[in-house]
Structure 1
C-alpha cells in the first residue's frame, strides 16, 4: 500500500453531529480527531474525481467502495514534508498517575488479574478477567496525559513494559491537533456592515503542535502535523476540501525515505514474545466496529489456521458514528439518500488480551502467519468497515498468565490521621 498524507491548510472541521442550522449563535463543533469514515470517504472522492468523476456509474461506485484505506494516523512532518514522527493513540492499558513532581508521572501497567475469592462480576458469561494494576495504590489519575504517543515510546510499551515506571508526559507524546474557535458574521453586500444577529461560531482542528506553553512558545518551535493513510490507489497531488465548510487540505504521497517509518511487519522482539508465550495484546490504532459491542468476532475467527481466544479487554467509553447514506434508494419519486444508523465503536487505544492455541507449541510458522494477518490490518467485523479503515491494529507482548493484585499497606503516619 502507498502512504498518503493529508495536511490541512485551514483548521479542519469534523462535525460531531450536533445540529448546525441558520440560527443566530449557532456553533459548529469539531470532533477531537477525524474518524476513518471521514478520511476514507474523502480519499475515495479524490480518487473518483481522478477516474472521471461520474459518480452515477455503479461500476465506479463499486470500485471506490472496494478500495481499501487504512488510517488515519497522526504524523509529524519536517520542513521538507517528510514524516519524522508517528503518533499512535495512547494505549488503554497504560495508567498515568499524578506525582508531586509536575514533570513526571507514574505509569502503571494494567494486566488481567486472578479474581478475588467470592468476587461477582458482570463478565461471568464472557469468562473474561478483570484488568487492573498489579500493585494497588490510591493515587490520582494525572490530568495532563498525552492523547498520542510517539512510536519510539509505543514500541517498548508493546514489547514488554514494566509493571511500574516513571515517565515524562512531554517525552511520551502530546495531545495532537489543538482546537481553534472562529466567530463568523454575515456582511451586507451593499453597505459592508454586519447583519444584526447573524453570528455563528466554528471550532476546528489546527494541525500544528507547539511544545511548552503558548505564551512562551515561538513559531520556530512549532511542528507540522498531518494525517497519514495507507491506500491501494493513487492520484495526482492536489489541494482539495475535506470536512465541514470544505476547508482546503493538501493531498500528496509521502516521501519514500521517511525518517522513522511505522514498521510494515511486526518487529522481531514483539514477534518472538508472541511465539514464546502463545499470547499477545491487540491495540487499536483507529476505532473498531464490532457487532457485539466491545467484543470482536472477526479477530477471534480463524486466521492462518489459528483461532485466538479473548482473555480480557480494556475498552474506554464507546464512540458513536453515523452519517448520510448517499446510495440509499427511498423508492420511486423520492430522493436518494437517508441517514445511516447510529453505531457504537470501540475507541482507538483499546487493548485486547488474546491467547493462541497451545497446540501450536513449536510451530513458529503458524504463529508468524497469524501475526502477519493482524499486524497493521483492520480487525472490524464487517468487510466494508475493514475496507473503510475501522479497527487498524498493532500487536504487543503478554505472557498469557493472570496476575494477583497486591495491596500496599499504608504507613502508621497515614492511618493515624
Structure 2
C-alpha cells in the first residue's frame, strides 16, 4: 500500500445512517442501536463508487484497493470541513462531583512489592492519576484531533469544557417504524412491523434550538479516483454526497519521530476499530515476551506494557458474491490505547507508524481496520 497515492474524500450523509451488526433480525431481538460506520462499510462504498466512476467491473480485484478511515469531520451547514474528529481515547474518563465535570486520566503503573493482578505476566494495570470524588459522567464520544494530541502531551490546560465544545456527542437514535400495508383493506398487516435505528450526523443539542449549528461528515481515503456525486452508504441504500477534499487528512507532526526516540516509549491509539487474531492483543506480538514488529515496519521492535481497551464490538455483514452472511468477528473498539517500550529503534519505521493500519491480516488493513496514531509516552514507565 502506497499512502502517497491515496486521495482524500469527504462523505456527507443525507439521512441518518443505518449500520447493523449482522445479528439475526426477528421480533424478539429488536433493532440494533445506531452506530458509526465500521471501516468495511466505508471501504465497500468507496470501492464501488471508484469502480463505477472508472467503468471497472465489480469483482474481487477491487478489494486490493487500500482504504483508510472513516474518521469523523465537523462541517458547517454548507459542507465545508472545519475540524477532524477522532474517537474518545479509552484512557480518558469523565467525572462529575455535582458542581463541575473533569477529565481524569488512567495511566499504567508498575506493581509495588507485594501487589499482584490477573493481567498477563509483564503487563501493568491502569490506575487513575488522581482521585476525583463524584460519579462517572457522560461526555463527548468524539474529540477534536488537536485535543487528542494535547491529551497525549499531558497538557494540563486541556479541560472537559474544551473537549466538549470541540467534540461531538451524537444525538439520540433516529427510530423509524416500518409496516406492511394490505392493499385491499389499506390497513397494516398483522405482525409485519419492524424498526430501524439510524445515526444522525449532527450534534446532540445542549440547548433549545430549531436547527443544528453544524453537521458531521465522514473522511476517507482510497487509492483511486472518485468523481463528485452521490453513493450508497450502509443499510437501506441511504445516500451520501462525496467529493474530493485535499489538505485535511492529519499530517505527521514535524518533531514526532525525534520525540518518540527521545522518550524511548510510545502510545498507539486506535482511530478505527482493529481486528486481532488474539482478541484484544495484537497478533504480531509474541504471547510470551509481548514483543513484536508492527505491520509495515522492518526493524522497530516494541514491547507491550499496558492497554486500555473497552468491550469488544461485534462485526459481520453480507457477502454479496457468496450470497451468505459473513462470519461474526470481535473488533477492538476505536479509542483503545496501547503503551509500548521501544526495544529496537528505527526512525523510518517510527515515521511509517503514523496513521498506519495495525490489524493482523493484510486484507483487514486494506479495508481500513486498525488505523493508529502514535505518540511519545512522556512519563517514564517504571
TM-score by structure 2 length? 0.87
Deviations 1:8-31 (A, max 9, x none): 11221011333335x6x9954344
Deviations 1:148-171 (A, max 9, x none): 011231221122334x96422522
1:240 aligns with one of 231, 245, 260: 231
Which consecutive unaligned segments of at least 5 residues does structure 1 have? Answer: 328-335, 361-365, 404-417
CA shift at 1:298, angstroms?
3.9
Report if aligned partners of 2:72, 2:218 keep a CA contact under 8 Å in 1: yes
2:367 aligns with one of 388, 404, 408: 388
CA shift at 1:304, angstroms?
4.5
CA 1:274/1:289 → structure 2, altered by over 3 Å: closer, same or farther?
A: same
2:22 aligns with one of 17, 21, 44: 17
2:306 aligns with one of 312, 315, 319: 312
Report if aligned partners of 2:202, 2:216 keep a CA contact under 8 Å in 1: yes
1:97 aligns with one of 80, 87, 95: 95
Question: Which entry has the higher C-alpha Rg, 1 or 2?
Answer: 1
CA distance in 1, matches of 2:87, 2:129: 23
Deviations 1:377-404 (A, max 9, x none): 111111100000000111223136236x
Which consecutive unaligned segments of at least 5 residues does structure 2 have? Answer: 1-5, 286-291
Report 1:302-381 matches (<5 A). 303-327=297-321, 336-357=322-343, 360=345, 366-367=346-347, 369-381=348-360
CA shift at 1:190, angstroms?
5.3
Deviations 1:245-268 (A, max 9, x none): 1112212222x3x6xx34222x13
CA distance in 1, matches of 2:332, 2:236: 28
2:240 aligns with one of 249, 268, 274: 249
Residue 408 of structure 1 aligns with which residue? Answer: none
CA distance in 2, matches of 1:92, 1:316: 7
- The SS at the match of 1:227 is strand
CA shift at 1:243, angstroms?
1.6
Residue 156 of structure 1 aligns with which residue? Answer: 150
CA 1:114/1:36 → structure 2, altered by over 3 Å: closer, same or farther?
A: same
CA distance in 2, matches of 1:97, 1:271: 34
Residue 46 of structure 1 aligns with which residue? Answer: 49
What's the C-alpha RMSD, in Å, of the aligned pairs?
A: 2.5
CA 1:26/1:244 → structure 2, altered by over 3 Å: closer, same or farther?
A: farther
Residue 412 of structure 1 aligns with which residue? Answer: none
